[in-house]
Amino acid sequence: MTLPTEIPLQAYLVLAAVLFCVGVWGLINSRNAVRVLMSIELMLNAVNINLMAFSSYLDGQLIRGQVFAIFVITVAAAEAAVGLAILLSLYRNRETVDMERFNLLRW
């Protein structure tokens, strides 16, 4: 299988940049705590796209980027499980999922 030379590397990088920036915006502005976790998943996927693009275009023989992407997927799965457990615990204690009311550690 030949390298896809028609799609430039920069196309993947720009796509990942769009995904990452949308994720950052959602992370800052979401009021719902579940949506914050979804935004984190978007950002992790953007990083994974970058890793895979570099692995395919610049490191075609020793695809180290793919190995790193697998590790990122593993850590993302663990993060999602623990994050949602924390969310359930918070919901039981505060009776809300509004991020503005999780201000226990604020002043």
Determine the Cα–Cα distance for residues 53 and 88; give it in Å rounded to an integer. 36
Whole-angstrom distance, CA of residue 23 vs CA of residue 29: 10
d(CA 51, CA 16): 10
**Per rule CB under 8 A, is residue 70 in the interface with other proteins?**
yes
Q: Interface with other proteins includes 94 (CB under 8 A)?
A: no
Considering only residues 4 to 43 of the shown chain, the ones binding other proteins according to CB under 8 A are 4-7, 9-15, 17-26, 28-32, 34-35, 37-39, 41-42
Between 52 and 105, whose beta carbon lies closer to other proteins? 52
Nearer to other proteins, 4 or 105 (CB): 4
Contact 21, 90 (CB under 8 A): no
Closest separation in Å from C-beta 36 to other proteins? 10
Contact letters for other proteins, residues 41-60 (x by CB under 8 A)? xx--x--xx--xx-xxxxxx
- CB atoms under 10 Å from CB of 23, counted, come to 20
